[in-house]
Structure 1
Amino acid sequence: MKLSITVVALVAASASAFSPSTGLRATPVGTALQALPEGVKPIVIGLAADSGCGKSTFMRRVTSTFGGEQCGPLGGGFGNGGWETNTLVSDMATVICLDDYHLNDRGGRKISGLTALNTAEQKFDLMYEHVKALKDGKSVMKPIYNHVNGTLDAPEKIEPTPVIIIEGLHPFVDERVRDLIDFSLYLDISPAVKLNWKIQRDMEERGHSLESILASIEARKPDFDAYIEPQKEFADYIIEVLPTDLDPEDKKTLKVRAIQKKGVPDFNPTYLFDEGSEITWTPSADKLSSPAPGIKLAYRQEQYFGNDVAVLEMDGNFDNIQELVYVESNLGNTNSKFYGEVTQAMLSLADSPGSNNGTGLMQTLAAFAIRELYNKKAATAKLAANKKVAATA
């Protein structure tokens, strides 16, 4: 099975990179989107998750790992009533939000009576055609779902880049799309954590009542259970976010597990201390300080949907990201280019959510795995191209 990862669009940037009058991308002054190198076939990354599960933060970690010059906006638009794009573009990667393939706008869904989670509200044929075209090195005219207005806006032109990331609610539903994905990931946030996050945001920050929050969650649950969660079966890398096991009364500390499928081409799961072993480790407080209730790591071998997986786990928070190098020194198969790169990547996004716990660590390790997979596939393609040239010389 191919590896799948789902990813989300990021923070707002310069709107001048796109033209609202035509919906087509206009290259900003001083930057240039590089043409796809001769013989390079884009790789496709898929990321699946429910709304509000941290896809944007994960995308930030992935795109920063690849580097490259930013050539397009990170989404956002021109405020209420304005045109917007959900697409993130750099000269290395394009992140496409699959909300753009909604069948109906917000008003149309009121008439149909279906939610955006329902697969009947998605244009899977068009999604497949566009992902296939981009993987074949062709440009597409992609629709835009305007999250500000809930409308379907004028399409925008998307050019292929070496890495194409599709993120959203339904990247693994259509078998044809799944077959195009080279690496896939699912962000699995437990119901208890979702509730805590929503209470913190909507009750503490927005003044919503607990009753309204619970009603909102319950209203989405049937469609989430029916259409979103089953996609976990098709993912090769699952980041599972759970309440801590260190203190049953603690509602904010997280236990995060990276469930890594074994036997996936061009991917080797990260391990702790000794590959294939079973380990529970409490780091020395002198080397990795942490607030109560403390911190613990684990590594074990499990079965997940009938597949052999290696599970790396971190429970608890750490006080100082720089001290994470102590943990990094005991990890294997991190796909880093040099010692300390994992910690450096965490420091570069220190203000992002999850940077003081296992969420940021597992997202960073997943981003490095994607980079390594791209490098291996690019090297294989280059070797094949060189052989072809030599054969015709």
Structure 2
Amino acid sequence: LDDYHSLDRKQRKEKKVTALNPKANNFDLMYEQIKTLKEGGVIDKPIYNHETGEIDPPERVEPNKVIVIEGLHPLYDERVRELVDFGVYLDISDEVKIQWKIQRDMAERGHRYEDILASIEARRPDFEAYIEVQKQYADVVIQIFPTQLLQGEAAKESNLLRVRLVQKEGVKDFEPVYLFDEGSTIDWRPCGRKLTCAYPGLKMYYGPDSYMGNEVSVLEVDGQFDNLNEMIYIESHLSNTSTKYDGEMTELLLKHTDYPGSNNGSGLFQVLVGLKMRSTYETLISAPAKVAAKV
């Protein structure tokens, strides 16, 4: 959705607004084009060039059975939000965000280290005002924190992550994933004979909670999986995963072992969210058929 920036980098600097500010984005065009795609139409989508900071000529985009929109404001505008059938918010802690943003912007976009840190601080007020507020509208929030398995400098130097899947209760056609017993509070250290774990191990948690004014179920993974072939053991203790057969979740993880986060909670939850998206899609396309049959 960065392609719907209405101001290029130079113009934002002149007007002293960040890309997070709604004033720098064309929500009318965003809504119109997403609606057109969802209705089966073709659009000429603008392109925002992250390398030059300029708005390039548009590209033709054809509709598809599944349309994924991602960016800073997918749930900000009420009109756009109502077009979304399943909303996911990626909530990254400041510590992890700074580390990832430095890696991305220096390696991929050629930004300087000092400029990156300054940009983060400059954008913070707008982030809190216009981006964080969208969490309340998401069906699922994936939170990413530093590990709690290590403390002090060891934790700072570690690449281990604590990842939480926050699932909103009461959403139509969405059943939150749970561990062992739905609605209970579970702390589980699965390392042992059936799951290989190097130091400092692996910890999972499940339980009810409240989040942004919503009742939620939380599934958490702290640490990493050292052997993805053993993930069938974890899968066997999860319910409501929306898999179509035993082992499908593990199979999907093994297909993408080269993806970042494939061996920790972020990879696991990406797969689970993907399965939930598939389930939502199948429910939506089956609805007209059921109505026709009833008539």
Give TM-score scaled by structure 1 length: 0.69
Report how far residue 173 of structure 1 moved: 1.1
Q: Which runs of 5+ in 1 are unaligned?
A: 1-97, 389-393
Aligned counterpart for 2:232 among listed residues 303, 325, 348: 325
Q: Please say if 1:235 is aligned against 2:138.
A: yes
Report how far residue 198 of structure 1 moved: 4.4
Moved more, 125-134 or 147-156: 147-156
Q: Please say if 1:141 is aligned against 2:48.
A: no
Aligned counterpart for 2:242 among listed residues 323, 335, 342: 335
Q: Please say if 1:222 is aligned against 2:129.
A: no
Aligned counterpart for 2:180 among listed residues 258, 261, 273: 273
Aligned residue pairs total: 291
Partner residue, 1:262: 169
Q: What is the CA deviation profile of residues 325-354 of structure 1, one whole-angstrom value per residue up to 9, with x for unaligned ones?
A: 110010000101111111111111101110
| 8 A Cα contact 2:136 2:213, kept in partner | no
Distance 1:119 1:230 in 2: 13
Give TM-score scaled by structure 2 length: 0.91
Report how far residue 212 of structure 1 moved: 5.6
Partner residue, 1:302: 209
Partner residue, 1:120: 23
Report how far residue 255 of structure 1 moved: 0.6
Q: Please say if 1:174 is aligned against 2:77.
A: yes
Distance 1:328 1:234 in 2: 28
Residue 147 of structure 2 aligns to which amino acid in structure 1? T
Partner residue, 1:314: 221
Report how far residue 305 of structure 1 moved: 1.8
Report how far residue 112 of structure 1 moved: 1.8
Distance 2:161 2:231 in 1: 17
Partner residue, 2:60: 157
Q: What is the CA deviation profile of residues 104-154 of structure 1, one whole-angstrom value per residue up to 9, with x for unaligned ones?
A: 122222322211111110001111111222222222222121223222222
Distance 1:365 1:215 in 2: 35
| 8 A Cα contact 2:51 2:109, kept in partner | no
| 8 A Cα contact 2:168 2:214, kept in partner | yes
Distance 1:145 1:212 in 2: 20
Distance 1:211 1:219 in 2: 12
User: Greater relative contact order (Cα 8 A, min sep 6): structure 1 or 2?
Assistant: 1
Distance 1:295 1:381 in 2: 44
1:167–1:210 CA distance, 2 compared to 1 (3 A): closer
Q: Which runs of 5+ in 2 are unaligned?
A: none
Q: What is the CA deviation profile of residues 221-268 of structure 1, one whole-angstrom value per residue up to 9, with x for unaligned ones?
A: 222122211111111100000111111231221110000001111110
Which secondary structure state, in structure 1, belongs to the residue aligned with residue 234 of structure 2?
Answer: helix
CA RMSD of aligned residues (A): 2.3
How do 1:92-131 residues align onto structure 2 when only pairs under 5 Å count? 98-131=1-34
Which secondary structure state, in structure 2, belongs to the residue aligned with residue 302 of structure 1?
Answer: strand
